[in-house]
A and B are shown apart, each in its own frame.
Chain A
């Protein structure tokens, strides 16, 4: 928390640690008092629901047992076993598609927004007339509420919508107008709008990162004969690595937990987006609240949480050095 550093404190035995703590609390009474409401709040809104969710994943929870949900029949790890091994389990059948789609979606969207964001940030980092206007204009997609994005693109993707008009009537890329909201194309119908909406945020972040890189090292590199590409590869990218690291994590979490776009584009959360449109969050919502398999739903959420923790672990190992030197 950076309240104060441990450097001046000598390493002592365990017994004196208590004294150190006491002194620390005494010295910073006000700071700790300020923290108390936050800690209480965090416990209430984060820890308790998490414990409850964890407990629910061991219960047989359906509409009949839901009324007294903390006292529902205990079934141990049945919900987990059902999800992992029982091929008749409807929750599991739905999840196979959702996991595949979420993996494709999260990877493409994350790469897409980062690459787009970085490219646009590099473009806008140069000095040219109208630069500030361009920066504001670029932010437009990001300002559009996600609900509107879903509804708007839902119209544009329709078979006789504007996208097919461009693809077929103007560019002649297809012989027939394809469906985008039915069948396998659905995955693109959710990926592309998400990238469209997401990259301006990355652009802002990268722009801020780029501006911390001093101009003179580029001048030095140019004098030494390094080309633009080499400068980018050997200077810009490494200097941006901490920013990239944080944004990568942020994007992965954001995209794996994506819900709005599918929900608004396909029947406002009531419809089934199909085998290529369902994401983990929409599937889990449907399984929990549509099928009332609240126990299985919790189990799936807990498993997703652990998968996410593993991803974060891998991420942390990959970027440990960059994050610690900053």
Chain B
């Protein structure tokens, strides 16, 4: 018996040596990223890259999210010219679903096992950076034109608030704006020049189009997803901002979205559903179902991003909706101004170098290519997303719809660039989901008080998270 015990423990020890060996490695790379042992990491990568950086064959793993109808093919198509020029480089693309990407990326950041090139949603960058999951690129960003070359709202999210280090390069931008059915508005006699001016005109326009008969079917004024969606937080905040509220105080130390102004914003937006301007069935749907409904003529107005215009221009055979009536009868307008002014959510994605990568030089070269004019233009064309470069955003050859979105980026806002944003968004998602339960009438009665109560409990949770 004793002997077996000894041999088992010996076996265990052998394993723990193996495992701690791995752990040791990932620790040292993490330390290098935190600024500690820089020589060590360069010493291990230098021999591979310094001799002949353009000749050594490298395979880069890229993790991207579905930004376009055919995410992997579109990505490869964009970098095709680069690959032709660099025959030694090959790229493997893995597409992560937006819903599960967060879990996969945090797991990768924890284990150090991940891609070389990593796409991150702009709100995730400070968090993953604080985990040591991605490399600093501060001293390299001059290669891509630096801060001045990109949309300021998105550039803000490449750093952690209050810190000057840069962790990513903006890849593309998305903004939210209103899509409306021009034919339905005309039929209802609503002047689209003034309808989207402010909250009052917007609501009366919605009331006018609500229930209009189109092709023998009654159309709902507005389509909006409720809670079963990853967009819940992004859908509500533009209204809080427009009401004059904000997520956190200036110094990011206090929670302010549950104060009166923030509550005004939530009440206005959810009120549109509570007052019958929304088909309540849509509260159970997610964003893409809502977009499908708009395409099918079930709603006259929705709020979405530039990708939808691209979708309407894409042939049905390629998964687009160009055959729908809505595709020929829509226009894009900015979100209406609230008492606190005009606001919309500007999101987007950044390209980062994963800290566990063994091909950092080659990864950075690819990032440089992807964020320069040619690839930015090409990717905007295939994905329907907006380029992140100011020169392209302000270019006169944007089409009318893209111009409306480019306009929207000017009053676009982002969340505080704090490392705790990930948990904060999870908490907000949960409580905002409960708000939708209240609106649907399945969790108490919809009133300013009941919504306020839910926002207060959200604020308590968020406060605990940001002060941890």
Q: Are B230 and A267 in contact (CB under 8 A)?
A: yes
Segment 398-443 of B: residues with Cβ below 8 Å from A = 419-420, 422-423, 426-427, 429-430, 433-434, 436-437, 440, 442-443
Interfacial chain A residues near B423, Cβ < 8 Å:
290-292
Interfacial chain A residues near B465, Cβ < 8 Å:
291
Nearest Cβ on chain A to B152's Cβ, whole angstroms: 26
Interfacial chain A residues near B100, Cβ < 8 Å:
268-270
Residue of chain B at shortest CB distance from A63: B131
Q: Is A274 an interface residue (CB 8 A)?
A: yes
Most buried by A among B19, B27, B226, B437: B437
Q: Are B227 and A272 in contact (CB under 8 A)?
A: yes
24 A-B contacts (beta carbon < 8 Å): A21-B1, A63-B127, A63-B422, A69-B110, A70-B20, A70-B23, A159-B280, A160-B281, A181-B284, A182-B442, A183-B437, A183-B443, A267-B99, A267-B227, A267-B286, A268-B98, A273-B228, A274-B227, A275-B437, A286-B426, A290-B102, A290-B426, A291-B427, A292-B106
Q: Is A76 an interface residue (CB 8 A)?
A: no
Segment 283-316 of A: residues with Cβ below 8 Å from B = 285-286, 289-292
Interfacial chain B residues near A185, Cβ < 8 Å:
442
> What CA separation (Å) do A140 and B298 show in the bound complex?
34
Q: Is A43 an interface residue (CB 8 A)?
A: yes
Interfacial chain B residues near A177, Cβ < 8 Å:
281
Interfacial chain A residues near B284, Cβ < 8 Å:
157-159, 179-182
Q: Are A68 and B30 in contact (CB under 8 A)?
A: yes
Segment 1-52 of A: residues with Cβ below 8 Å from B = 17-18, 21, 40, 43-44, 48
Q: Are B230 and A270 in contact (CB under 8 A)?
A: yes
Residue of chain B at shortest CB distance from A160: B281
Nearest Cβ on chain A to B2's Cβ, whole angstroms: 8
Nearest Cβ on chain B to A24's Cβ, whole angstroms: 11
Residue of chain B at shortest CB distance from A52: B19
Q: Are B19 and A271 in contact (CB under 8 A)?
A: no
Given known pairs A63-B419, A69-B110, the reply for A268 and B15 (CB within 8 Å) is no
Given contacts A158-B281, A268-B100, 12 further A-B contacts (CB under 8 A): A21-B4, A48-B19, A63-B106, A67-B110, A157-B284, A159-B281, A182-B226, A267-B99, A271-B230, A289-B102, A290-B426, A292-B106
Q: Is B11 an interface residue (CB 8 A)?
A: yes
Q: Is B467 an interface residue (CB 8 A)?
A: no
Partner of A268, one of B106, B226, B230: B230
Interfacial chain B residues near A227, Cβ < 8 Å:
none
Q: Are B131 and A272 in contact (CB under 8 A)?
A: no
How many A-B pairs with Cβ below 8 Å?
A: 140
Interfacial chain B residues near A44, Cβ < 8 Å:
15
Q: Is A62 an interface residue (CB 8 A)?
A: yes
In the complex, per-residue mask of A85-124: 1 if CB is within 8 Å of any chain B CB, else 0? 0001010001000000000000000000000000000000
Q: Is B266 an interface residue (CB 8 A)?
A: no
> What CA separation (Å) do A17 and B436 show in the bound complex?
68
> What CA separation (Å) do A273 and B429 show in the bound complex?
10
Interfacial chain A residues near B442, Cβ < 8 Å:
179, 182-185
Q: Are B27 and A18 in contact (CB under 8 A)?
A: no
Q: Is A221 an interface residue (CB 8 A)?
A: no
> What CA separation (Å) do A69 and B30 show in the bound complex?
11
Q: Is B77 an interface residue (CB 8 A)?
A: no
Q: Is B197 an interface residue (CB 8 A)?
A: no
> What CA separation (Å) do A185 and B442 show in the bound complex?
9
Q: Is B132 an interface residue (CB 8 A)?
A: yes
Interfacial chain B residues near A237, Cβ < 8 Å:
none
Interfacial chain A residues near B99, Cβ < 8 Å:
267-271
Q: Are B433 and A272 in contact (CB under 8 A)?
A: yes
Q: Are B1 and A17 in contact (CB under 8 A)?
A: yes
Q: Is B461 an interface residue (CB 8 A)?
A: yes
Taking Cβ atoms with an 8 Å cutoff, the residues of A that contact B are 17-18, 21, 40, 43-44, 48, 62-64, 66-70, 88, 90, 94, 157-160, 177, 179-185, 265-275, 285-286, 289-292
> What CA separation (Å) do A88 and B463 show in the bound complex?
12
Q: Is B193 an interface residue (CB 8 A)?
A: no
Interfacial chain A residues near B279, Cβ < 8 Å:
160
> What CA separation (Å) do A158 and B281 show in the bound complex?
7
Interfacial chain A residues near B110, Cβ < 8 Å:
66-67, 69
Interfacial chain B residues near A43, Cβ < 8 Å:
11-12, 15
Q: Is B362 an interface residue (CB 8 A)?
A: no
Q: Are B130 and A90 in contact (CB under 8 A)?
A: no
Nearest Cβ on chain B to A35's Cβ, whole angstroms: 13
> What CA separation (Å) do A268 and B104 show in the bound complex?
13
Residue of chain A at shortest CB distance from B287: A267
Q: Are A67 and B227 in contact (CB under 8 A)?
A: no
Q: Are B130 and A158 in contact (CB under 8 A)?
A: no
Q: Are A271 and B130 in contact (CB under 8 A)?
A: no
> What CA separation (Å) do A292 and B27 show in the bound complex?
19
Given known pairs A159-B281, A290-B426, the reply for A63 and B227 (CB within 8 Å) is no
> What CA separation (Å) do A269 and B104 show in the bound complex?
12
Q: Is B468 an interface residue (CB 8 A)?
A: yes
Q: Is B229 an interface residue (CB 8 A)?
A: yes
Q: Is B59 an interface residue (CB 8 A)?
A: no
Residue of chain A at shortest CB distance from B4: A21
Interfacial chain B residues near A70, Cβ < 8 Å:
20, 23
Q: Is B285 an interface residue (CB 8 A)?
A: yes
Nearest Cβ on chain B to A260's Cβ, whole angstroms: 12
Identify the 4 closest CB pairs spanning chains A and B, nearest first.
A183-B442, A268-B99, A290-B426, A270-B230
Q: Are A274 and B437 in contact (CB under 8 A)?
A: yes
Q: Are B426 and A68 in contact (CB under 8 A)?
A: no
Segment 91-122 of B: residues with Cβ below 8 Å from A = 97-100, 102-103, 106-107, 109-110
Residue of chain B at shortest CB distance from A290: B426
> What CA separation (Å) do A67 and B31 show in the bound complex?
9
Q: Are A64 and B130 in contact (CB under 8 A)?
A: yes
Q: Is B52 an interface residue (CB 8 A)?
A: no
Q: Is B232 an interface residue (CB 8 A)?
A: yes
In the complex, per-residue mask of B218-230: 1 if CB is within 8 Å of any chain A CB, else 0? 0000000011111
Nearest Cβ on chain B to A43's Cβ, whole angstroms: 6
Q: Are A292 and B103 in contact (CB under 8 A)?
A: no
Q: Is B3 an interface residue (CB 8 A)?
A: yes
Residue of chain A at shortest CB distance from B16: A48
Interfacial chain B residues near A289, Cβ < 8 Å:
102-103, 106-107
